[in-house]
């Protein structure tokens, strides 16, 4: 059965990935608001190899990293970018398990927003009615990672790099 939303979601994801890879700035903060930038777009995928090949063949993306890093376990995320680091945000392919993707999750992943002010943005999200959750990563100087959904249910990840 043909599902037009699947094609539209893929086309939208490819267009967004091209815009980000080209290094085109996408403003995401209001005037005088916290400092923000789009860091990555993460897509849930059924198979790393198939998706990585598609983005390499179509957009020329190459693997620039994984999480966890090589040698520290099987990757659950593969980071793709332009050869030579030619700017723009990265595309993350996320694959947590071999279970089928839940309904709707194959259409989208999450938007990752880089900010040095994650706690301030979290308060703004909460004031707008969003429920937030923080992920704690062990270590002496971990990043701040906070998740919340926008009014349409799209997941947003705030990422504040370690200091």
Residues 6+ apart with CB under 8 A from 51: 43, 45, 93
Q: What is the pLDDT of residue 111?
A: 82
CATH 3.30.720 describes domain 115-163: yes
Q: What is the pLDDT of residue 123?
A: 92
The CATH code of the domain at 1-26+42-109 is: 3.10.180
Give percent of the chain with pLDDT exceeding 70: 71
pLDDT tens-digit map of 10-40: 444 444 444 444 444 444 445 678 888 888 8
| Threshold 0.95, pTM exceeds | no
**Average pLDDT value for residue range 133-158:** 88
Q: What is the pLDDT of residue 122?
A: 92
Q: What is the pLDDT of residue 22?
A: 43
Domain residue ranges in the chain: 1-26+42-109, 115-163
Distances in Å between the alpha carbon of 84 and those of 40, 45, 78, 100, 146? 17, 25, 17, 34, 30
Edge-to-edge strand ranges of the sheet holding 90-94: 62-67, 77-81, 90-94, 37-44, 110-114, 155-160, 144-149, 133-135
The answer to whether 1-26+42-109 and 115-163 have equal CATH topology is: no
């Amino acid at each position: 059965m043909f599902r037009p939303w699947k094609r539209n979601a893929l086309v939208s994801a490819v267009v967004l990935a091209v815009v980000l890879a080209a290094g085109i700035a996408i403003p995401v903060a209001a005037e005088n608001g916290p400092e923000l930038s789009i860091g990555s777009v993460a897509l849930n995928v059924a198979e790393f190899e198939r998706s990585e090949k598609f983005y390499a063949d179509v957009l020329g993306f190459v693997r620039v990293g994984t999480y966890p890093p090589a040698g520290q376990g099987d990757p659950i995320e593969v980071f793709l970018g332009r050869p030579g680091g030619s700017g723009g945000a990265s595309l993350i392919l996320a694959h947590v398990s071999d279970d089928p993707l839940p309904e709707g999750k194959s259409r989208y992943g999450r938007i990752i927003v880089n900010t040095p002010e994650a706690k301030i943005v979290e308060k703004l999200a909460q004031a707008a009615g969003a429920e937030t959750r923080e992920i704690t990563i062990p270590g002496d100087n971990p990043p701040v990672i906070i998740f919340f959904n926008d009014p349409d249910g799209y997941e947003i990840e705030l990422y504040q790099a370690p200091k």
